[in-house]
Amino acid sequence: MPRIIITYLMVVILVTLGFFGIGRLASAKELRDPMQPPPFALQKFREARWASSTAKTEAKAEKPAHKPLQLTSILYAKDRKIAIINDQMLAVGDRIRGAELVKLTRATARLVHKGKVINLSLDNHLTAIKRKAVESDL
C-alpha cells in the first residue's frame, strides 16, 4: 500500500511540475522569433512605409512622366536571348509600355510601338572603360 501512495505522489508532483513548465513555455514574452527584427527597426520600417504610401497617393494625382526606354544589358546565347530594358527582362515578342521587342542582337534591341521603330543600343562607355584598363596595363 505505501508503494501505491508513493507512486501516486510522484505522479502528482510530475504533473504539477509539467503544468508549471508548460505555463512558462506558453508565455508570449519569453518566446520570440529569432529572425524578427528588433522593435525599433520595425517602427522605422512602418514609418517609412507610411510615408511612402502617402507620397504615392499624392503622386497619383499627377500624371507620372515615363523615363525613356534604356537598354541596360543583353544576355545572348544560342538558346536564349534576353534584353534588360528599364530593369525588366524581355525576350523577343515581349512588351514593355506598349512597345514590342521584335529583334535582338548582341549590342542592340529593336522595338515597335504604334508603327514606330525604336532602336536601343548598349552604352559604349563600358567598352571605353575596358579599353582604358587594358591600355594602362601595357
28-56 pLDDT per residue, tens: 556 667 777 777 777 877 888 777 666 55
Cα distance between residue 102 and residue 112, in whole Å: 7
For domain 71-127, give the CATH number.
Answer: 2.30.30
What pLDDT is recorded for position 138? Answer: 46
Query: Residue 109 pLDDT more than 80?
Result: yes
Burial class for 9, CB neighbours closer than 10 Å (0-12, 13-18, 19+)? exposed
Cα–Cα dist 46/76, whole Å: 41
Residue in this structure with the C-alpha cell 538558346, named with its chain if needed: 79
* Comparison of pLDDT for 21 and 43, the residue scoring more: 43
Assess whether pLDDT exceeds 50 at residue 71. yes
Helix (H) or strand (E) run with residue 46 in it: helix 39-61
The pLDDT, as a whole number, for residue 126 is 54
Select from 99, 98, 95, 103 the least CA-distant residue to 74: 103
Query: Whole-prediction pTM value?
Result: 0.45
pLDDT at 57 over 60: no
Check residue 69 and give its pLDDT. 87
Going from N- to C-terminal start, the domains of the chain cover 1-65, 71-127
Residue 106's pLDDT is 87
Which residues are registered as beta bridge partners of 113?
Answer: 116
Q: 11-25, 53-67, 122-136 — which one is most confidently predicted on average?
A: 11-25
